[in-house]
Chain A
């Protein structure tokens, strides 16, 4: 095979002007700006801020659970903290973090100058802060206390104003996420550079295609459920209130029809990002590009038909439980294809074990644990025992923290040079990884055992016999909290002092690395040229022509623009 290369035009005189006049000022990030990169950063920072708020709530939860008695916070406040922790982490930390990378990377990766609808994009982002504000304000009027699932009848008979604000806030954030998804789909399907066929799209784009499809088809069902819930709450109807003939189980169906897909909305973007990170730092093509690409779509499809596995104990007919059990377990197959594909990608490579890669491999290692416990939960028979226990809490923190959050960190370390033009400090990054990895496992591994022996979730007081394991969890939670410190220091330091990155410090092949770091305002000075598949590493053994290896070309492509 010969590799034929095309090199973008050398920059003309405009390069310098560009440097001076089109640099973003910090104020831009606080305005209604339609540049997708600004919006991406806005999402990212928002996500970080709320993950800290949600994380602090988690620390309060763990502090309370260090002892069997409700002595640190009252049981009522505990429920409020727990509800807000779940809601905030899901809707204001992980979902926006996915949107952040989608916004920042999609146009760059497909060689477009911006999203299909830049204004809509900005509108979508600016719906999130008011949503967050509503949620936070609810602490002043009595925060919601019915869990992030807000099951009626409890949610219609407790914390009236808190619940109203919760609904409003979720409706806003949901709308924002639908608008975002419409933008992503349109951009990816319609605005790729002409030479980029669907099968040359980076895997992150495939993942986002699946995510956007899920968002568009399921988010509004949640909206429907919440509209009905708010009528129950405010107007006194009884859609879900048995006191008036309503049926709380219908709410559960509607809620999970969204919220199960939501868990894939929360993890698929990071599947995509990790699929980008691993090949770059293992210096090997991703293993089974098409398999990984299509499995995202399959996961999305299956994700739409398994929702009732959250309701095995609540009143679904027996044969339906069996259907949902089998469908749920099937998701292990496409997910397995990904996990095996990633493992095979790094196997035999030449691994650069930097922070991005550490978190990338940590992602596989931790997500695997959550996935395996997920398949156990999928068995309706076993779920009768562990539903609503800490086994479930352990499961979903492994997929959400071990999966989504670890993926976020991997992506942050990987694209930091692109976003800021500077390298991160690897030592701090590695410390961050080790602390996170230890703390995370210490917090969430014992929870599985706790759940199996009889600790149910959402409780502020528990059986004193379970105290030892709970204290392990609490210690782990503190360690995890500490692990954020090296990360923050690293970011703040590197953004000002980090070594200059150049255009393509990782020698990566996807298009975003063909432009300057940080990218010019409209991304590319020249329309970028697709001269290799996104993961064609290892082609340096093949000469492009007699004099130069692809490798060398790559360096120059990266260095010049």
Chain B
């Protein structure tokens, strides 16, 4: 194999490095980052883009050069050089990927750990009693076909726990998240607020206890770069700290039925003061009577909203609404027990 001259190789190498470094910083592919975790993930992603760009240019470049430079001259029926291999070269191109994937693995591991992915409470290292009782539901529910609360609370669904420096500390705010076809219900155990949108204060660690009533859903916040499946009968936790005030989408990322695509909600990141104000407004609105709170549930409104355009298909929706109804009854108990 005839390797190009050293000078050409050197120049190409420098050019590839510079281009990839530039692309890695300026690809502009990610949406805004609204949490500490998101910034870390973006750092990792930038590195991956840099490496990928370099490999991309290297290999596609070699292919394109080959196509133009090594075409068979017209009328030349002879073969190319009988090169069968080149051991040092092969060792190099085995070793370099090994190094790259090692670096990527270790870096990913680091970030994952800092995000709390390895917190023993959340990652399966120890039994999480706290979570087990947050999902107590009276057994009488289990005959309601899809309401899935099995006797096996030992199963936890895992997720992202406390980051290493927060380990052992309680989060500033804890919210129960319930996924159902096709809405998210947020319950604030401390205040009894039930909402169809998530409101959190900026700069404080928030913990979500995520579960579902009917089928699998997945709780995804693109601007926070985190996602966790909601599994009926189990509770997963996800801790994060928002760093940017604003309103961001919450998306269900696991296929959960026809209207999976419209199972969306919003997360509002407030300044701590605004957050307190929101809490107060909600508490005035919601009396002790939880039934009423559920009836005025914005989640229901937004369900209706999204169902409205598809009025022609109410055949499907009758069933859907039944689900919603059943689930809401369940939520009453859900939030009641978790208080």
Q: Are A453 and B150 in contact (CB under 8 A)?
A: no
Q: A75-B259, A454-B251 are in contact. Are A285 and B105 (CB under 8 A)?
A: no
B65 to chain A: which residues have CB within 8 Å?
347
Report which of A243, A248, A375, A384 forms a contact with B146, defined as CB distance below 8 A. Answer: A243
In the complex, A339 Cα to B94 Cα: how many Å? 11
- What is the distance, in angstroms, from A537's C-beta to the closest C-beta of chain B? 5
B118 at the interface (CB under 8 A from A): yes
Most chain B C-beta atoms within 10 Å of own C-beta, residue among A154, A365, A368, A551? A154
A34 at the interface (CB under 8 A from B): no
Q: Which of B55-63, B170-178, B295-303 contacts A (4 or more CB under 8 A)?
A: B55-63
Q: Are B260 and A318 in contact (CB under 8 A)?
A: no
Q: Are A243 and B1 in contact (CB under 8 A)?
A: no
The interface bits of chain A over 296-324 (1 if a CB of B lies within 8 angstroms of the residue's CB, else 0) are 00000000000000000111111111100
List residues 1-44 of chain B with CB under 8 A from any CB of chain A.
Answer: 1-2, 29-31, 40-41, 44
B79 to chain A: which residues have CB within 8 Å?
283-284, 350, 537-540, 551
Q: Are A385 and B222 in contact (CB under 8 A)?
A: yes
B310 to chain A: which residues have CB within 8 Å?
70, 74-75
Q: Are A368 and B55 in contact (CB under 8 A)?
A: yes
A379 to chain B: which residues have CB within 8 Å?
44, 48, 104-105, 108
A353 at the interface (CB under 8 A from B): yes
B275 at the interface (CB under 8 A from A): no
Interface residue tally on A, bucketed by range: 35 or more
A369 at the interface (CB under 8 A from B): yes
Q: A353-B67, A538-B81 are in contact. Are A153 and B232 (CB under 8 A)?
A: yes
A388 at the interface (CB under 8 A from B): yes
Q: Are A288 and B90 in contact (CB under 8 A)?
A: yes
Report which of A288, A318, A351, A382 forms a contact with B48, defined as CB distance below 8 A. Answer: A382
Q: Which of B109-117, B266-274, B278-286, B327-335 contacts A (4 or more CB under 8 A)?
A: B109-117
Q: Are A336 and B97 in contact (CB under 8 A)?
A: yes
Report which of B146, B147, B158, B258 forms a contact with A76, defined as CB distance below 8 A. Answer: B258
Report which of B31, B105, B150 forms a contact with A243, defined as CB distance below 8 A. Answer: B150
Report which of A246, A348, A382, A551 forms a contact with B108, defined as CB distance below 8 A. Answer: A382
B246 at the interface (CB under 8 A from A): no
Q: A317-B123, A368-B56 are in contact. Are A349 and B70 (CB under 8 A)?
A: yes
B313 to chain A: which residues have CB within 8 Å?
74, 76
Q: Are A315 and B258 in contact (CB under 8 A)?
A: no
Q: Are B225 and A76 in contact (CB under 8 A)?
A: no
- What is the distance, in angstroms, from B162's C-beta to the closest C-beta of chain A? 12
A52 at the interface (CB under 8 A from B): no
Q: Are B56 and A329 in contact (CB under 8 A)?
A: no
Q: A243-B146, A289-B84 are in contact. Are A315 and B158 (CB under 8 A)?
A: yes
B253 to chain A: which residues have CB within 8 Å?
313, 387-389, 456
Q: A243-B148, A315-B158, A316-B158 are in contact. Are A551 and B232 (CB under 8 A)?
A: no
Most chain B C-beta atoms within 10 Å of own C-beta, residue among A75, A313, A344, A350? A313
B227 at the interface (CB under 8 A from A): yes
A349 closest partner in B (C-beta) = B80
In the complex, A339 Cα to B71 Cα: how many Å? 20
Q: Which of A102-110, A113-121, A214-222, A459-467 contacts B (4 or more CB under 8 A)?
A: A459-467
Q: A318-B118, A537-B79 are in contact. Are A313 and B218 (CB under 8 A)?
A: yes
In the complex, A452 Cα to B231 Cα: how many Å? 24
Q: Are B93 and A340 in contact (CB under 8 A)?
A: yes
The interface bits of chain B over 78-111 (1 if a CB of A lies within 8 angstroms of the residue's CB, else 0) are 1111111110011001100110110011001101
19 A-B pairs within 8 Å (CB atoms) are namely A151-B216, A151-B255, A154-B215, A285-B82, A287-B85, A291-B90, A313-B253, A337-B93, A343-B63, A347-B1, A348-B2, A376-B52, A379-B44, A381-B117, A384-B225, A387-B218, A388-B255, A537-B79, A538-B79
Name 4 extra pairs, CB < 8 A, besides A376-B52, A454-B222.
A70-B310, A319-B118, A336-B94, A539-B79
Closest 4 CB pairs of A and B: A318-B123, A459-B261, A317-B124, A538-B82
**Interface set of B (CB-CB < 8 Å, partner A):** 1-2, 29-31, 40-41, 44-45, 48, 52, 55-56, 59-60, 62-63, 65-67, 70-73, 76-86, 89-90, 93-94, 97-98, 100-101, 104-105, 108-109, 111-112, 115, 117-119, 122-125, 142, 145-152, 155-160, 214-216, 218, 220, 222, 225-229, 231-234, 236, 249, 251-262, 309-310, 313, 316
**Interface set of A (CB-CB < 8 Å, partner B):** 69-70, 74-76, 78-79, 145-147, 151, 153-154, 157-158, 241-249, 282-285, 287-289, 291, 313-322, 325-326, 329-330, 332-333, 336-337, 339-341, 343-344, 346-353, 361, 364-365, 368-369, 372-373, 375-376, 379-382, 384-385, 387-389, 448-449, 452-454, 456, 458-463, 536-541, 551
